[in-house]
């Protein structure tokens, strides 16, 4: 394909946390786009790659973007993670210490908006359509670029499954599958030692990654960010569950964003990323410790010991499962369908079991959380199991 025959250039980037399914999405877009006559450029390290471009034809920008071929994407297409790498960069809020060297003379504030440079870099690379794959943070900046005139078609990705407007985000199914499998593995130790098994899982603002495995039978109880819980209430339920179990153990899944009644989220340190998020950590440890302290009240004066496990990156690593192999392929093709029609400013979605697309600015106009009145029993601290008629696959 000669330069004269190229219909346009499509840029692809992945931002935020890695999940299985990103590489299949990149592959689906690239292979079809190339066959349709487009040039495809992979932006490295999310918004960081496009922000750090050196606008000089002689400069080495290999760490910022790469031209994609079928060979490149085929090698990575069935694997987990993202071969384009990722970051939590937000070009509209760049701390002074992270301003690229080529811009330091121009941007000297404590926090800088480098969007004007990003727009120039998009033109420098020659990108006609930009396809960002990410969660609400990554996609919120794509809304900014769309408002600045960039032709954006976005793809939702996050194992928390909390991007508004869609029932499904890439990475969620593999996360749930891994959580169920690992919880079941840990049951043997919990049963052997007759303990309460406390497992901390991801979920900053939305508790889907705790709710769905519990609904599937992986745990007796779950605590989620949408509802602040009383530790005495949780402990009483878990002690009852343990006593009813022939193997004398019980299991609770704890979202990392869950919080005790009257207490805010727990953070591992005071550092914040460019989106203003501090690193969460410690709620699983705190729940485990408090269960041991409180348990004698509900166990005839005897303390119940715990096993405390943080699944962390284990649930987002490795190869994608079946859903996270199929949906990314479909999302990639949906995005390219829009590009071929000249349509932009859209987010590809799954809604009520069918693929569709909606305005991308939904990402910044609303939040997607568990409706505790419909899906979470605050007395039992577990999912509501009543009628499933007309409910979505993942109760969202």
Of 160, 162, 167, 324, which one is the catalytic site residue? 160
Q: Please, are residues 196 and 41 in contact by the beta-carbon 8 Å criterion? A: no
Residues with Cβ within 8 Å of 247's Cβ and at least 6 positions away in sequence, in order, are 191, 194
Strand boundaries in the chain, DSSP class E: 9-14, 39-43, 65-67, 94-95, 111-112, 129-134, 153-156, 196-201, 221-223, 250-255, 267-272, 278-280, 306-310, 346-351, 354-359, 376-377, 382-383
Secondary-structure breakdown of the chain: helix, strand, coil percentages, each rounded to the nearest 5: 35, 20, 45
User: What value, to the nearest 5°, has the Cα angle with vertex 207 and ends 260 and 371?
Assistant: 100
Residues with Cβ within 8 Å of 350's Cβ and at least 6 positions away in sequence, in order, are 166, 167, 168, 327, 356
Question: DSSP assignment, residue 260?
Answer: B
Q: Please, are residues 55 and 103 in contact by the beta-carbon 8 Å criterion? A: no
Residue 391: both structure tokens together:
């409910």
Max alpha carbon distance in the chain (Å)?
81
Q: Are strands 267-272 and 278-280 parallel, antiparallel or unpaired?
A: antiparallel
160 is catalytic: yes
Using DSSP's 3-state secondary structure scheme, residue 237 falls into: helix
Residues with Cβ within 8 Å of 189's Cβ and at least 6 positions away in sequence, in order, are 195, 197, 307
Give DSSP secondary structure letters for 157-225.
B-TT---TT-S--BTHHHHHHHHHHHHHHHHHHHHHHT-EEEEEE--SS--HHHHHHHHTTS-SEEE-T
Residues with Cβ within 8 Å of 283's Cβ and at least 6 positions away in sequence, in order, are 200, 254, 255, 256, 257, 258, 259, 265, 266
Known catalytic residues?
160
């Amino acid at each position: 394909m000669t330069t004269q025959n190229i219909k346009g250039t499509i840029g692809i980037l992945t931002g935020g946390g890695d999940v299985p399914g990103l590489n299949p999405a990149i592959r689906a877009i690239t292979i079809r786009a190339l066959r349709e006559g487009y040039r495809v450029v992979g932006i490295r390290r999310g918004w960081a790659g496009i922000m750090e471009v050196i606008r000089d034809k002689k400069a080495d920008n290999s760490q910022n973007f790469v031209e994609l071929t079928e060979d490149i994407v085929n090698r990575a297409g069935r694997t987990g993670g993202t071969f384009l790498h990722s970051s939590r960069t937000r070009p509209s809020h760049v701390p002074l210490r992270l301003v690229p060297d080529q811009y330091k003379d121009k941007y000297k504030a404590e926090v800088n908006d480098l969007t004007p440079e990003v727009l120039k870099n998009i033109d420098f690379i020659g990108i006609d359509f930009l396809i960002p794959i990410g969660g609400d943070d990554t996609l919120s900046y794509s809304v900014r670029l769309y408002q600045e005139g960039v032709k954006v078609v976005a793809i939702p990705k996050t194992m928390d499954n909390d991007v508004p407007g869609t029932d499904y985000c890439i990475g969620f199914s593999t996360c749930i599958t891994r959580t169920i499998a690992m919880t079941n593995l840990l049951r043997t130790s919990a049963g052997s030692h007759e303990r309460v098994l406390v497992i901390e899982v991801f979920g900053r603002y939305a508790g889907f990654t705790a709710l769905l495995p519990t609904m599937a039978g992986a745990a007796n109880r779950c605590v989620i960010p949408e509802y602040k819980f009383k530790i005495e209430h949780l402990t009483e339920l878990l002690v009852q569950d343990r006593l009813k179990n022939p193997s004398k153990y019980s299991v609770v899944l704890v979202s990392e964003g869950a919080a005790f009644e009257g207490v805010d989220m727990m953070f591992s340190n005071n550092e914040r990323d460019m989106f203003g998020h501090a690193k969460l950590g410690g709620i699983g440890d705190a729940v485990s410790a408090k269960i041991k302290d409180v348990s004698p009240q509900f166990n005839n004066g005897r303390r119940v010991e715990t096993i405390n496990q943080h699944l962390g990156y284990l649930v987002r690593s490795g190869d994608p499962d079946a859903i996270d192999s199929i949906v990314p392929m479909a999302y990639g093709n949906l995005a390219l369908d829009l590009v071929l029609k000249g349509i932009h400013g859209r987010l590809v979605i799954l809604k009520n079991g069918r693929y569709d697309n909606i305005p991308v600015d939904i990402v910044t106009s609303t939040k997607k959380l568990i409706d505790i009145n419909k899906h979470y029993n605050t007395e039992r601290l577990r999912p509501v199991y009543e009628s499933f008629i007309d409910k979505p696959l993942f109760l969202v």
